Amino acid sequence: MDLYVIRRPGAWANAQELEVAGAKSSKIGNEEMPDRVRWIRSYVVKEPDGRIGTFCVYQAQDPESIREHARRVGMPGDQIFPVVDTVVIRDDPAEAEASASA
């Protein structure tokens, strides 16, 4: 599987909508498509219009698997970018704080 970033601009009105979509996304990915897509993480962003968007990191067989997963969930999935490299300077702050308190 290859690594991809999916941009979902302004897809949700609020955190509750995003939470519902996230639960459905996990269920479909884990139960119906585990050999085709794996959700790694998402960065949730506030859009200029106040809506919520995401940048999601997935492993997938191909972009079409990501599109199919998005269709099944009922969320956007057409802005797909293959990852060519990863540069990590520091861990994400939330992860670093959780590790330090453990």
- DSSP-assigned states of every residue in the chain: -EEEEEEEEEEESSHHHHHHHHHHHHHIIIII-TTTEEEEEEEEEE-TTS-EEEEEEEEES-HHHHHHHHHHHTS---EEEE------SS--HHHHHHHHH-
* pLDDT digits 0-9 by tens, 64-83: 999 999 999 999 999 999 99
Query: Residues 16-42: what's their mean pLDDT?
Result: 96
The residue range of the domain holding 90 is: 2-101
- At residue 97 the predicted structure's pLDDT band, cuts being 50, 70 and 90, is low
| Percent above pLDDT 70 for the chain | 92
* Cα Rg, the chain, nearest whole Å: 14
How far apart CA 90 and CA 27 sit, in angstroms, is 30
Q: Which pTM does this prediction carry?
A: 0.86
Question: Is the model's pLDDT at 94 over the cut of 90?
Answer: no
CATH number at residue 38: 3.30.70.3090
- At residue 92 the predicted structure's pLDDT band, cuts being 50, 70 and 90, is confident
Number of domains forming the structure of the chain: 1
Query: Residues 44-63: what's their mean pLDDT?
Result: 97
Question: Is the model's pLDDT at 99 over the cut of 90?
Answer: no
pLDDT at residue 6, rounded to an integer: 98
Beta-strand relationship, 79-82 and 52-60: unpaired
